[in-house]
Structure formats: C-alpha cells, structure tokens
Homo-oligomer: A and B are copies of this chain.
Amino acid sequence: MILKKRKLVTIVIEASLAHRLEEDVIDCGAKGFTSSIAHGAGPRNQRVSDIEGGNVRIETVVSEEVLEKILEKLKTDYFPLYALSCWVSDVEVVRDERY
C-alpha cells in the first residue's frame, strides 16, 4: 500500500495550557490532534503534574510546512515560559488528505 510521509509532533504540556495549545496547533494548519492525560517528571526534577492536575500529551500529524509553523509558535509563545516537552518523528499515512 502506498504511504505518504508526514511529521508526527508530540508535545507534553501542563493540563491548564493544553486547550490553548490545541487551538494554536490547529491555527498553524494541523487538521487534527489527539490528546491523552499523562504525568511525568522533567529536567527540573519536579513532578509538577502531581500537584497541578496532570499533563496532557498532544499529538498531531502534519506536513513539513505546518511543522515549521508549530515549532515557531512553541519557540515564541511557549518555550520561554513553560516546561513543555516536544519531539518530532517521521511517520507515514495512508490517507494523506487528512493530514
């Protein structure tokens, strides 16, 4: 089956910021996202989520162009202020019109 290349962006952020980030991801051009509740510890060795209501793990499958926009948004509006984590991987999709 022919698959098309896309980028999977995974962002882990405190729950209170998740809805705003989901909207920003859509505004950057993502056609959808998937979010799950998570907890964790980051480089500052704080289990912030245990105190403040958990983290949310947001995934979105996007084009290279939308990836760049999301990373720019994170760089300007999130990274300087919040302890979110973000990683990007190569994925393939069957129905490319969805992403």
Binding site for B on A (CB under 8 A): 1, 3, 6, 8, 12, 22, 26, 31-43, 55, 57, 61, 68, 71-72, 74-75, 79, 85-95, 97-99
Contacts and interface: CB of A to CB of B under 8 A. Distances in A.
A72 B22 contact: no
B42 A35 contact: no
**Sorted from nearest, which 4 A-B pairs have the closest CB atoms?**
A34-B40, A87-B91, A32-B42, A31-B43
A43 B8 CA distance: 16
- Identical chains in the assembly: 3
Contact of A98 (B22, B33, B43, B95): B43
Contact of A3 (B31, B35, B88): B88
A81 to B, nearest CB: 13
A22 B42 CA distance: 12
B43 A22 contact: no
A89 B88 contact: no
Contact of A85 (B37, B85, B98): B98
